[in-house]
Amino acid sequence: MLDKLTKKQESKMATYRDQAIEVGLKTMSPDEFNEVRVHELTDLHRVSRGLEKATNFLVFDSPFAAIKQIPSLTPSNAIYGNNDAYWLYTYRFFQKECNIQGLDIINHLYDLCTEAGWMWMSSDTTIVTKMPVDMRMIRKPAENARGFLDVLHCYTGLALEYADGTGVYAINGVRIPAQYKHLMEALPKEVPASEVLVISNTEIRSELLKKIGIERAFDSLQKKSLDKKTIKVGGEYELFSVVFPNDSVRIYLQGECPSNKEKFYEAVSPDCRTVEQALSFRNTGKLDLYQMPLSLT
């Protein structure tokens, strides 16, 4: 029973982590796909699990194409190929570096994750999809952890793209549904702010606002200034009553971020009528507890 790693074993963990990241983020042009090799590996995996070799072997350019043509396929019953690298390399570490027995069953999946994308296997059929041809990413600070994360990101098209033109739209790691394809593929200046502002999903709306520019979106709205004040610590603030395209009215505080000097727009209580009330609500959740801050962070 393994209950503790040696220093040597611990020193090898980063190598497997880095390999898993490399494979998980791998892209491949269509002509790099080795159909003979993948067919061989999938048959070896099938036999190891007690199945006969496949009499039907189908290849698709993407998971989207496979699921569209064969509706019984779903993400939940797939083998994820290179997207399984995160756990396959974890088990590989324990298999190779810690001599844990009984893990040979993953050997062919481990080889497959470097060769193919998603897969499905039935009693007589193997369905394989190719890896993406392109992946666009951005590095952002990790939430609730030190360091950074690379996440899918593209303002003007697919962040994850397959050879057949299907893929995933994403901004700063937030997946944008295909129903907003026209907003994602347009240049930022061509995206109607009014259409973005009425998106009900807060996270999606927020990311698309970043694409077109929050200041531009705010300037496009009908609004009335309720109060304006310069705070010694914090700078200039202005409170607005804002009419949205769906005729809803909300109260927004406009200020300046102390770290990057960019303007921010933050929704506050509909009962706010002064900058002090808005700042009090922002900091305490109540309208009448405002205190002058000693400093900004």
Task: Locate the domains of the chain by residue range.
Answer: 7-131, 135-214, 221-284
Q: In angstroms, rounded to a whole number, what is the distance separating the alpha carbons of residues 60 and 53?
A: 19
Please, what is the average pLDDT of the chain? 91
Instruction: Tell me the pLDDT tens digit for each residue of 19-67.
Output: 999 999 999 999 999 999 999 999 999 999 999 999 999 999 999 999 9
* Residue given tokens 């190779």 in the structure block: 96
Angle formed at CA 148 by CA 144 and CA 150, multiple of 5 degrees: 120
Q: What is the CA radius of gyration of the chain?
A: 26
Residue 203 per-residue DSSP state: H
- Residue 87's H or E segment, with its range, is helix 85-97
DSSP string, 123-157: SSEEEEEPPPSEE-EEEEEPTTSSSEEEEE--SSS
Average pLDDT of span 105-130: 95
Residues 6+ apart with CB under 8 A from 268: 239, 251, 252, 253, 277, 278, 281, 282
Is the pLDDT at 294 greater than 60? The verdict is no
Judge whether 116 and 131 are in contact, CB under 8 Å: yes
* Residue given tokens 């004040």 in the structure block: 229
Instruction: Tell me the pLDDT tens digit for each residue of 213-249.
Output: 988 888 888 999 999 998 876 788 999 999 988 888 9
Residue 64: strand pairing partners: none
Judge whether 209 and 199 are in contact, CB under 8 Å: no
Is the pLDDT at 109 greater than 90? The verdict is yes
